Structure 1
Amino acid sequence: MNLTQLTTQELIYIQSPFSNSDEAINALIEGLYQKGKISDKSAFLNAVMQRESEGPTALGEGLAIPHGKSVAVNEAAFAVATLAQPIAWNGIDGEEDVNLIFLLAIPEAQAGTTHIQLLTQLTTALVDDEVREKIIHAKTSEELLGLLSQAIEEQLEPTESSSEVALLEKAPVIVCVTACPAGIAHTYMAAEYLEKAGKKLGVKIVVEKQGANGIEGRISVEDFDNATACIFASEVAIKELERFSGLPTIKVPVAEPIKRAESIINEALELAKKTPRDMTKSHKTATVENKVGFKTELKQALLSGISFAVPLIVAGGTVLAIAVLITQIFGLQAVYETENSWLWLYRKLGGNLLGVLMVPVLAAYTAYSLADKPALGPGFAAGVAANLIGSGFLGGIVGGLIAGYVMRYVKQYIRLSPTFNGFLSFYLYPVIGTLIAGSLMLFVIGKPVAFVNTGLTNWLNSLSGSNALLLGVIIGCFVSFDLGGPVNKAAYAFCLGAMANEVYGPYAIFASVKMVSAFTVTASTLMAPKLFKDFEIETGKSTWLLGLAGITEGAIPMAIEDPIRVIGSFLVGSAVTGAIVGWASIGLSTPGAGIFSMFLLTENPLGAFASAGIWFGAALLGSLISTLVLISWRKHAVATGKFAI
């Protein structure tokens, strides 16, 4: 195995004196950049820090595997550092001491290639305690590279004895799926730990990896037939979930097997004893998982529905925006309004994505989050019903929840012999769910929701002066509080709901405020570079461009480093921006257009030119205020020793 296609000796740092994780990551990124493996240090750093914010990359036993998927990666690669002294790193149980770091650079478009396969083999080889210990104590980069190559070669040559094979043939079978957001490190390491623990316990562990290469090690029909239990170690949705129906199931985060694989397997075996698999009832599934509260479940369902609806909303808004821009630039108003003309068709295409499909898609995938695939049909039906009775975006949310919980009940209590599974899944479930959820929306719950929706619409339309200003402050703070997280998404849902009801002010506030955090990062690092770390300065070089596109996530690396001062400064400027746009009664009817939104603002007494100036000027003013506040707070923190550069 020639690892030189993934790394070089110049990318291997022996006994490095790094003092913290940021310093280590930036040094390894610099090495990858110098060797031409990545084209944009800032963009790749953003990808790595985004992954760091999603979950631990310190995997125990002194090993950390930070990684990032980005278009800035020219080719799959990795850099390695062994450390002279351990440093603290975010791990499964809080901060862990780390003395071996592998930084993986993964191209977004290369899943499934040989390079990615090499990376997965690399991470799997590091599970072996002896291999890892030898690598940590390697004296030269050449020695370390040789140890890695040897470990991967041995990994590709299984050495199970005939006696081990015979024992496993008689052992209980547990089928497993591992899957993580990036689809590389955790996916394969969790699988390796489960397999090793299974051999130790005398249990046959069959693991299917759902990673960057797609489904690998697909579980065979024979293994499914012999399985007594199932383990899902995952942070993302399991593909083809229906295959596992009827199996007692343990659900854990993907990093858990790295910490306690043996205890997870024992839990699965105990569950199988208490609730044996019933082969005659394929939809009877016993499940043990980390229980979430009712409020958390509702939040997850809503965010799931919104996430599936966002591509449709952005596409519809952008198509509509393009049609409007072409009309305004070339003076084609007559063509725009002529039925079946090319501009009229584009207008209808974008408008129908928003006005006709948005609510049913929101409802369907909210229901899907609660009850899986059988809830999709009833969810779409509930969304269509919401449109019919005028309950709008709010009705779509309520309808999706109704459809999800109805189908969860139906799946639990309406079951037939396996002979009738096709009839059950493709006829009985969707018909029953659609009739119940649709009827509840049309004749019971939908009407009061429509009444509330109408009242909310009228209230929003009546806002002016100080009331509109206060609404702007609230939306502004929500947008920048967690930079694309649940609070931001709540504001997004509210503004989309208002837009669906033809109230355009809230979304204009939302779109303007979305630029503030990104502009602030760029401006503050340019105005006072001595107050910011190198990676923050690198981040600032590109965030202004993300701000123009209406993307808040570019500010996350800086926010993670210094959350109180950074987020606090964002909130101050965002409140000012939101207040100005709200007070000016500016509206926006096309979502997802970024800076182009300033050309698509709805008409108001100020006129189109003044509205555009106020809308963008509010974003710039809010950014300036946030920048000055952040510089002031950071300067004080540095001077008093509360923050170290």
Structure 2
Amino acid sequence: MKKILAVTACPTGIAHTYMAAEALEKAAKEKNVDFKVETRGAVGVENALSEEEIAQAHADMDVDEGRFAGKPVVKTAVGQAIKDAAKLIDEALQKKPSASGQDYVEQIAKAKTERSGKRTGPYKHLMTGVSYMLPLVVAGGLIIALSFVFGIEAFKEQGTLAAALMDIGGGTAFALMVPILAGFIAYSIAEKPGLAPGLVGGMLASKIGAGFLGGIIAGFIAGYVAKALKDNIKLSKNLSGLVPILIIPFISTLVVGLLMVYVVGTPMKGIMEGLTAWLTTLGTGNAVLLGLLLGAMMAFDMGGPVNKAAYTFAVGLLGSNVYGPMAAVMAAGMTPPLGMWLATLLAPKKYTVEEREAGKAAAVLGISFITEGVIPFAAADLFRVIPATMLGAGITGALSMMFGNTLRAPHGGIFVLPIPNAVGNLPMYAVAIVVGTVVTALTVNILKKNKE
């Protein structure tokens, strides 16, 4: 018997979400189809689909196709599901699964998806917040850099284009960075009920001066407070609609706000001020050591927790106008895949035909700052590839900090380098990346033996 999975959701998550689910369940039962529906309503996800169920399914009806790679997907409005659920069931049954088979880039995508699926607990929640925050940081950083095209101090003259660009990038996009981080950490923990207290807690962290560290704390407090209320407040059906709209937002926002103002905010502000002061007054020796550490972390697990810890640390500092660590982190993240590409060119006999072809794709991923491009090489030869990439990335990070390189955008690879003032001391930044790439390639080739 074929199995169909569905996900229903509507803007308010109160009525149509459940009406569509009920209609689909009824139609599937009449057609004797194995069926399950996940609802995304105002109280969050209910009846969630498991990985095993997705693997067993013939087809899916969902607004988010990411979980259903390889499965035929039907997307439609909830109104259509309510009006003609039987037709949607038939359409899903007639769909055929997509062909299997992977090339190198698909392997990378699969590895990243698998890692995302394995994330649990606080790490998963933090990465959710970071992923929603990143577009603001990227856009804001690049727009700020554009304002400097007119001169470093040009934005101070009111009414000019430079001032407008600074207001858009720094005054608005960067101002939203911490609230969005906190809001979506809370959202990851408690679904929709966590969003309001998370956003408010993040905004308070910004106003108080607690920075991204305060935003992270606010997000976790908001999420767990909202989840506790969501799990423990039980009212009759007639009053249950008040829980997600009135009771949870009011109580959780009040609790988070008071804790941020009277308990968490001031200590976090002190920590952020101390960290910022230390980073802005680093001597050359300490700067090199910091760059070495961040660079090695970027290459240690290729997009895993250690890599993301270094990246999140650097991104968070952008809001405090500290741009050196971000430059070191991106350069070090580009070096491992670029190094493996160069290694396959320098010593082709040490690699299979497939690995030499994969090296070409790794080069594209490397210049795009996708460190995960090394994963297939590391999976095949972990104890030679990882030490070599860590050495090259560490040297790149150290050189970047020693040269005083800065970066105002947290992603983009070489594609952000031509933007005026996006990178400080651009020629030496390129030198740091090239040196790390060469070191990686030479080291891994020294460690590797020729293929039979």
TM-score of the superposition, structure 1-length normalised? 0.53
Name the counterpart of 2:110: none
Instruction: Tell me how far apart the structure 1 counterparts of residues 287 and 35 of structure 2 sit (CA, whole Å).
Output: 48
Name the counterpart of 1:417: 236
The aligned runs of 1:82-481 (5 Å cut-off) are 192=2, 195=3, 207-209=4-6, 219-221=21-23, 223=25, 240=40, 252-254=50-52, 258=56, 296-324=120-148, 327=149, 336-481=155-300
Name the counterpart of 2:379: 560
Name the counterpart of 1:618: 432
Q: Does 1:633 align with 2:430?
A: no
Deviation at 1:244, TM superposition (A): 8.5
One-letter amino acid of the counterpart of residue 538, structure 1: E
Q: Secondary structure at the match of 1:365?
A: helix
Deviation at 1:373, TM superposition (A): 0.6
Instruction: Tell me how far apart the structure 1 counterparts of residues 291 and 35 of structure 2 sit (CA, whole Å).
Output: 43
Deviation at 1:569, TM superposition (A): 1.1
Maintained 8 Å contact 1:364/1:400: yes
Q: Secondary structure at the match of 2:5?
A: strand
Q: Secondary structure at the match of 2:370?
A: coil
Cα gap change, 1:541 to 1:322, in 2 (>3 Å): farther
The CA deviation string for residues 609-642 of structure 1, in whole angstroms up to 9 with x for no partner, is xx3222221111111011001111122xx4xxxx
Deviation at 1:438, TM superposition (A): 1.2
One-letter amino acid of the counterpart of residue 40, structure 2: E
Instruction: Tell me how far apart the structure 2 counterparts of residues 411 and 243 of structure 1 sit (CA, whole Å).
Output: 7
Which entry has the higher C-alpha Rg, 1 or 2? 1
Root-mean-square deviation (CA), in Å? Answer: 3.4
The CA deviation string for residues 499-531 of structure 1, in whole angstroms up to 9 with x for no partner, is 222222211211221221121122111112222
One-letter amino acid of the counterpart of residue 303, structure 1: M
Q: Secondary structure at the match of 1:254?
A: helix
Instruction: Tell me how far apart the structure 2 counterparts of residues 232 and 484 of structure 1 sit (CA, whole Å).
Output: 36
Maintained 8 Å contact 1:507/1:587: yes
Deviation at 1:296, TM superposition (A): 4.6
Instruction: Tell me how far apart the structure 2 counterparts of residues 458 and 243 of structure 1 sit (CA, whole Å).
Output: 43
Instruction: Tell me how far apart the structure 1 counterparts of residues 144 and 436 of structure 2 sit (CA, whole Å).
Output: 29
Give the gaps of 5 or more residues in structure 2.
9-16, 58-118
Instruction: Tell me how far apart the structure 2 counterparts of residues 444 and 423 of structure 1 sit (CA, whole Å).
Output: 29
Q: Secondary structure at the match of 1:590?
A: coil
The aligned runs of 1:29-40 (5 Å cut-off) are none
Maintained 8 Å contact 1:391/1:453: yes
Maintained 8 Å contact 1:313/1:592: no
The CA deviation string for residues 407-436 of structure 1, in whole angstroms up to 9 with x for no partner, is 011112333222223332222221211111
Maintained 8 Å contact 2:340/2:440: no
**Aligned match of 2:397 in 578, 581, 585?**
578
Instruction: Tell me how far apart the structure 2 counterparts of residues 210 and 412 of structure 1 sit (CA, whole Å).
Output: 22
Name the counterpart of 1:51: none
Cα gap change, 1:465 to 1:346, in 2 (>3 Å): closer
Maintained 8 Å contact 2:132/2:181: yes
Q: Secondary structure at the match of 2:144?
A: helix
Maintained 8 Å contact 2:6/2:36: no
Q: Secondary structure at the match of 2:140?
A: helix
Deviation at 1:345, TM superposition (A): 2.2
Name the counterpart of 1:530: 349
Maintained 8 Å contact 1:473/1:578: yes
Deviation at 1:323, TM superposition (A): 4.1
The CA deviation string for residues 80-126 of structure 1, in whole angstroms up to 9 with x for no partner, is xxxxxxxxxxxxxxxxxxxxxxxxxxxxxxxxxxxxxxxxxxxxxxx
The CA deviation string for residues 215-247 of structure 1, in whole angstroms up to 9 with x for no partner, is 9xx6334848999xxx9999xxx66255887x7
Give the gaps of 5 or more residues in structure 1.
1-127, 129-191, 196-206, 260-294, 639-643
Instruction: Tell me how far apart the structure 2 counterparts of residues 337 and 508 of structure 1 sit (CA, whole Å).
Output: 26
Instruction: Tell me how far apart the structure 2 counterparts of residues 303 and 591 of structure 1 sit (CA, whole Å).
Output: 15
TM-score of the superposition, structure 2-length normalised? 0.74
One-letter amino acid of the counterpart of residue 253, structure 1: E
Instruction: Tell me how far apart the structure 2 counterparts of residues 310 and 222 of structure 1 sit (CA, whole Å).
Output: 37
Instruction: Tell me how far apart the structure 2 counterparts of residues 482 and 577 of structure 1 sit (CA, whole Å).
Output: 17
Cα gap change, 1:353 to 1:549, in 2 (>3 Å): farther
Name the counterpart of 1:495: 314
Cα gap change, 1:439 to 1:221, in 2 (>3 Å): farther
Instruction: Tell me how far apart the structure 2 counterparts of residues 243 and 445 of structure 1 sit (CA, whole Å).
Output: 28
Q: Secondary structure at the match of 2:303?
A: coil
Instruction: Tell me how far apart the structure 2 counterparts of residues 383 and 597 of structure 1 sit (CA, whole Å).
Output: 31
One-letter amino acid of the counterpart of residue 314, structure 1: V
Cα gap change, 1:520 to 1:393, in 2 (>3 Å): same
Q: Does 1:485 align with 2:299?
A: no
Instruction: Tell me how far apart the structure 1 counterparts of residues 286 and 271 of structure 2 sit (CA, whole Å).
Output: 20
One-letter amino acid of the counterpart of residue 254, structure 1: E
Instruction: Tell me how far apart the structure 2 counterparts of residues 242 and 426 of structure 1 sit (CA, whole Å).
Output: 8
One-letter amino acid of the counterpart of residue 445, structure 2: I
Cα gap change, 1:225 to 1:210, in 2 (>3 Å): closer
Instruction: Tell me how far apart the structure 2 counterparts of residues 359 and 583 of structure 1 sit (CA, whole Å).
Output: 29
Instruction: Tell me how far apart the structure 2 counterparts of residues 348 and 505 of structure 1 sit (CA, whole Å).
Output: 23
One-letter amino acid of the counterpart of residue 442, structure 2: L
One-letter amino acid of the counterpart of residue 22, structure 2: S
Maintained 8 Å contact 1:543/1:554: yes
One-letter amino acid of the counterpart of residue 135, structure 2: P
Q: Secondary structure at the match of 1:416?
A: coil
Cα gap change, 1:461 to 1:337, in 2 (>3 Å): closer
Cα gap change, 1:220 to 1:251, in 2 (>3 Å): closer
Maintained 8 Å contact 2:209/2:269: yes
Cα gap change, 1:321 to 1:470, in 2 (>3 Å): same
Q: Secondary structure at the match of 1:438?
A: helix
In proportion to residue count, which structure has more strand? Answer: 1
Instruction: Tell me how far apart the structure 1 counterparts of residues 374 and 191 of structure 2 sit (CA, whole Å).
Output: 34
Q: Secondary structure at the match of 1:515?
A: helix
Cα gap change, 1:504 to 1:333, in 2 (>3 Å): closer
Cα gap change, 1:233 to 1:475, in 2 (>3 Å): farther
Q: Does 1:506 align with 2:325?
A: yes
Maintained 8 Å contact 2:213/2:268: yes
One-letter amino acid of the counterpart of residue 368, structure 2: A
Cα gap change, 1:418 to 1:352, in 2 (>3 Å): farther
Instruction: Tell me how far apart the structure 2 counterparts of residues 244 and 357 of structure 1 sit (CA, whole Å).
Output: 24
Instruction: Tell me how far apart the structure 2 counterparts of residues 226 and 599 of structure 1 sit (CA, whole Å).
Output: 55
One-letter amino acid of the counterpart of residue 5, structure 2: E
Instruction: Tell me how far apart the structure 1 counterparts of residues 48 and 371 of structure 2 sit (CA, whole Å).
Output: 36
